[in-house]
Amino acid sequence: MNPSEVNLRRAPAGKVFYQTYFQRRESPRKNSRQIPRRTFRLILGSVPEPSKMRYLLGANEGFFAGCEEPRRLPAWLKAEDIDYYAREFARTGFRGGLNWYRAQDIT
């Protein structure tokens, strides 16, 4: 059985497993390409406790739905770091990282 088939079975009705979500071409692009600075503030600045990580999303829900930008960044992260990553990913996109999810069934 392919990994994507296992992921589909993990999700209850009306939900999508996060790896399946990232296999869709339109959804991640819509969330990250338009506003890479916000994407990195959410990803790096508000890392939740492992017990609060979201692995299941609503079928039509964006990955960052319900996420709030941090009021302040963690001590290890500077605004300049966020700016750097946002500029680079605005220029190159997130395709490389997302292709890991898209290619998981290739053997």
* Per-residue pLDDT tens over the stretch 12-39: 888 888 888 887 766 555 554 557 888 8
Strands in 1-107 per DSSP E: 15-17, 56-58
How does the average pLDDT of the chain come out, rounded?
Answer: 78
Out of 18-27, 79-88, 98-107, pick the least confident: 18-27
The alpha carbons of the chain give a radius of gyration, in whole angstroms, of: 15
pLDDT at 81: 93
> How deeply is 22 buried, as exposed, middle or buried, from its count of CB atoms within 10 A (0-12, 13-18, 19+)?
buried
Residue 40 — φ and ψ, nearest 5°? -75, -30
pLDDT at 107: 66
How far, in Å, CA of 63 to CA of 40, rounded?
13
